[in-house]
Amino acid sequence: MILTTDLSRRYRHYFAFILLLAMGLLLTSCGSNKPSSLAITSWGPNTTQAGVAFNVQPDGSAALWVDVDQELDGKAYLSLNGFKLKSSVSGKLITAGVPAVLYAQPGTYLLNVVDVIDGKEVKSNSVKFMVKPK
């Protein structure tokens, strides 16, 4: 009887190990099918004059749009020179309002899309948004 009990305990450990291994493989295979990189394919506008609103919205604010190479989730946002913009996502398109302070001065500003892929923030390539003197 003691031998049978020892064997069943040993097999329980093996069974638990195999079960945990199978669960880990299952969870890994259920991960996101999204690529781990993100690329901007087009955007607009790509230039404006200092202090002049662009792509003017009904409320008078300025706005940018960006297309990327893959579907985005609702957590994605646009970043202009590191400033997180309030953004809206629809498939591969993301739009955002731009506060006037961000285009008040001439310069070249970097625009990125930031998305959450497999729980990590992934930043797209940078494109240039030019603000020219008046």
Q: What pLDDT score does 37 carry?
A: 83
Span of 47-56, 62-71, 94-103, 110-119 with lowest mean pLDDT: 110-119
Confidence at 19, pLDDT banded by 50, 70, 90 = very low
Per-residue pLDDT, averaged over 59-68, amounts to: 97
Residue 15 has pLDDT above 60, yes or no: no
Q: Is the pLDDT of residue 63 over 60?
A: yes
H helix count then E strand count, the chain: 1, 10
What is the rounded end-to-end Cα distance, in angstroms, of the chain? 93
Sequence spans of domains, the chain: 1-30, 40-132
Please give the Cα distance from 72 to 110 (Å, whole number). Answer: 20
Sequence-separated (6 or more) residues with CB below 8 Å from residue 98: 54, 61, 62, 63, 64, 80, 85
* Cβ atoms 38, 124 nearer than 8 A: yes
Residue that wins the pLDDT comparison between 80 and 37: 80
Residue 116, pLDDT score: 84
What is the model's pLDDT at position 117? Answer: 79
pLDDT in tens, 113-129: 999 878 889 999 999 99
Q: Of 62, 46, 60, whose CA–CA distance to 110 is shortest?
A: 46
Q: What is the mean pLDDT of the chain?
A: 83
Average of pLDDT values for 48-64? 97
Q: Please count the other Cβ atoms lying within 10 Å of the Cβ belonging to residue 12.
A: 10
Residue 5 has pLDDT above 50, yes or no: yes
What residues contact residue 103 under an 8 Å CB cut-off, 6+ apart?
48, 50, 51, 52, 54, 62, 109, 131
Cα 60 to Cα 72: distance, rounded to the nearest angstrom: 27
The CATH code belonging to domain 40-132 is: 2.60.40.10
